[in-house]
Amino acid sequence: MDWLKEQFKKEEWSPYAAGAMLGVVGILAVVLSNSLLGASGAFENIAGLIGKAVAPAAFDNIYFNFVMPPGITWGVVLLVGVFFGGMLGAKSSGTWKLRTVSDEQWKEIAGKKWWKRWLIAFVGAIILEYGAGIAGGCTSGLAISGGMLLAPAAYLFIAGMFASGIVTAWFVYGRRY
């Protein structure tokens, strides 16, 4: 028991241990709820909910009516859990802290200005979410959840993601790649 507690408090687990645990969570999602883990879809559900309230005409299309119907879905609740789960993880290791720029490596390449980090994170997230919308899922919803059912879509997505990710990082880091 003490050993477990000690492990739980560690700031960083082996990626293999954490991955195995996520694998079990993925199995349980199918067994208990017949659902797949995912993150990007929940944002679209919420966006649809807000959009339908604010600008119903603009959101009255096939995508928001049928592909990603708005509402508080299983995925939205899952996402709430993810938020608190991440917080729990940071709290347990005593590294939880409010920060504006959190990453040393980011500071090295882009400086310490907080708005720069927030702006790029915001723009990057929009692009990322858009890509996920086209592909039909994100790293968790398509790559892992689709991959575990051996969906070809997942492996195409992973190939695309790494191809452009590597090229982008190569451009961002230039000679320091």
User: CB pairs under 8 A, 24+ apart, for 140-143?
Assistant: 140/37, 140/38, 140/39, 141/36, 141/37, 141/38, 141/39, 141/40, 141/41, 142/38
Contacting other proteins (CB under 8 A), which of 12, 94, 98, 174? 12
| 88-122 burial code (b ≥16 CB/10 A, e <16) | ebeeeeeeeeeeebeeeeeeeeeeeeeeebeeeee
> CB 73 → other proteins: shortest distance, Å?
9
Note whether 63 binds other proteins by CB under 8 A: no
Q: What Rg, from alpha-carbon coordinates, does the chain have?
A: 19
> CB 123 → other proteins: shortest distance, Å?
7
Note whether 69 binds other proteins by CB under 8 A: no
Note whether 166 binds other proteins by CB under 8 A: yes
Contacting other proteins (CB under 8 A), which of 5, 6, 34, 175? 34
Contacting other proteins (CB under 8 A), which of 26, 50, 65, 174? 26
> Residue 19: which residues within 8 A CB-CB, separation 6 or more?
none
Note whether 66 binds other proteins by CB under 8 A: no
Please report, as residue ranges, which positions from 80 to 139 form the binding site for other proteins (by CB under 8 A). 80-90, 93, 102-106, 120-121, 123-139
Number of residues that bind other proteins (CB under 8 A): 98
Note whether 4 binds other proteins by CB under 8 A: no
